[in-house]
Amino acid sequence: MAVLRNTDWSSVGPVLRGGAVYLRYPQQADYAAWAEVREESRGFLEPWEPTWPPDDLTRIAFRRRLRRYANDIKEDLAYPFFVFRAEDNAFIGGATISNIRRGVAQACSLGYWVGERHARKGYMSAAVKALFPYVFDTLKLHRLEAACIPTNEASKRLLAGTGFTEEGHARRYLKINGMWQDHILFALVEDDPWR
């Protein structure tokens, strides 16, 4: 698993490779594929995500999203990645390292999603694992956190299967699909056996 770096993040940024996938920063040219996968997977994704704004899938909203991503990267707040299937460059989902806390914490949060037709094929597990060297070696963070709704069995399996440890239960932790939802908390730290 190699991390290829380009010093001008706006052109392509780092490319993270792992198994059958690669990850890179989102680009304007990704809009059509992103919107198609999101729209066709709407019913599959909505139970696990914050409420989608009415204009979420528009080109204008995508441009706003890219501007926010650029600012987050510049400020070391978050690093968004789109996930592609390596064999044919098909767009399949996204993964974001966010809520970066420096200082004594050196921690961040992981969020991810995959299009319905690409789910349960191992792609997102490969993508999550491909992020580990970037989080721990490149960003020099100590702790990677993730959370999922207790009924999201696929996400619980993914996190446990990629080496995360379940750490607890947070009441009404995140507002998902319009409701404050309990979450199961998971974490991976740099000296866990992820390599």
Q: Is 62 inside any structural domain?
A: yes
How many folded domains does the chain comprise? 1
Whole-angstrom distance, CA of residue 152 vs CA of residue 7: 38
User: Could you tell me which residues are beta bridge partners of residue 4?
Assistant: 15
Query: Is 82 inside any structural domain?
Result: yes
What's the rounded mean pLDDT across residues 120-147?
98
Distance CA 191, CA 121 (A): 28
Does the pLDDT at position 11 exceed 80? no
Q: Kindly state the percentage of the chain with pLDDT values over 70.
A: 94
pTM to 2 decimal places: 0.92
Looking at the chain, the whole-number percentage of residues with pLDDT higher than 90 is 92
Residue 91 placed within a domain: yes
Q: Is residue 195 part of a domain?
A: no
User: Which amino acid type is present at position 186?
Assistant: F
Supply the pLDDT for residue 13. 86
Residue 183, domain member (yes or no)? no
DSSP string, 122-177: SHHHHHHHHHHHIIIIIS--SEEEEEE-TT-HHHHHHHHHTT-EEEEEEEEEEEET
Euclidean distance between CA atoms 33 and 36, whole angstroms: 5
Residue 119 lies in a domain: yes
Structural domain includes residue 77: yes
Does residue 43 lie within any of the structural domains? yes
Domain span including residue 16: 3-146
Q: What is the mean pLDDT of residues 149-172?
A: 97
Q: What average pLDDT does range 58-73 have in this prediction?
A: 97
Kindly report the average pLDDT of the chain as a whole number.
Answer: 94
Are residues 124 and 93 in contact, defined by beta-carbon separation less than 8 angstroms?
yes
Write the CATH number for 88. 3.40.630.30
